[in-house]
């Protein structure tokens, strides 16, 4: 997606070999027009996959996931990272390690929002080591549903996430694939 790549080059900041800061348009400030366009790209790629619901992990994946759900006329479900007083029992949970934050968290899905007949499209903001995607996949598959695809806004292709998901047979579609990051250097595939 050329407009996304241009935005990354213009406003993104490569802080080091693994961290790309894009908070001005993706995850702190949000550009709704760009998110809408991302939704169109994800729809075009996944529209023949038989998707029944869009899933994302809070919170940075919400904007592109909402726009994808809107484009595909489907419901969206947010997988929770934070503990909730109202989500007791009736949930699927898995532990995910965040390399960015250096901690583990419980990813939670209410059983009310998934059925065995669902074919889920997982949308996330970044793919690096693949831990978040694998956590979402575990929840979907524990519920007996199917992962129909994984849509990623920005993929760090030099990290192992993509290779791991490809080897497991998941259909991964990324809007921007980064080949190399260094301080102040961003190179796309």
Known binding residues for 5-phospho-alpha-D-ribose 1-diphosphate: 128-132
Q: Detail the residues annotated as belonging to a binding site for xanthine.
A: 20, 27, 156
Q: What are phi and psi of 93, to 5 degrees?
A: -140, 150
- DSSP-derived secondary structure letter, 52: -
Query: What burial letters (b/e) apply to 95-117, b meaning 16+ CB within 10 Å?
Result: ebeeeeeeeebebbbbeeebeee
Cα–Cα distance for residue pair 24/10, rounded to 1 Å: 11
Helices 32-46 and 2-11 meet at what angle, rounded to 10?
A: 140
Q: Contact, 64 vs 34, CB < 8 A? A: no
Nearest to 175 by CA among 160, 188, 159, 164: 188
Q: Detail the residues annotated as belonging to a binding site.
A: 20, 27, 128-132, 156
Q: Is-cis flag, bond preceding 33, omega within 30? A: no
């Amino acid at each position: 997606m050329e407009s996304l790549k241009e935005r990354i080059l213009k406003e993104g900041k490569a802080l080091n070999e693994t961290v790309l800061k894009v908070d001005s348009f993706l995850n702190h400030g949000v550009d709704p027009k760009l998110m809408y366009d991302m939704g169109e790209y994800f729809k075009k790629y996944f529209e023949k996959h038989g998707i029944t619901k869009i899933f994302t992990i809070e919170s940075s994946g919400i904007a592109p996931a909402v726009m994808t759900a809107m484009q595909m006329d489907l419901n969206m479900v947010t997988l929770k990272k934070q503990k909730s007083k109202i989500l007791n029992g009736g949930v699927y949970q898995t532990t995910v390690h965040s390399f960015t934050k250096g901690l583990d968290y419980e990813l939670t899905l209410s059983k009310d929002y998934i059925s065995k007949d669902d074919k889920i499209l997982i949308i996330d903001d970044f793919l690096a080591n693949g831990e978040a995607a694998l956590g979402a996949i575990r929840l979907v598959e524990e519920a007996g549903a199917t992962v129909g695809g994984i849509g990623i806004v920005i993929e760090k292709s030099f990290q192992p996430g993509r290779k791991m998901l490809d080897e497991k047979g998941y259909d991964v579609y990324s809007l921007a694939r980064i080949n190399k990051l260094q301080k102040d250097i961003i190179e796309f595939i």
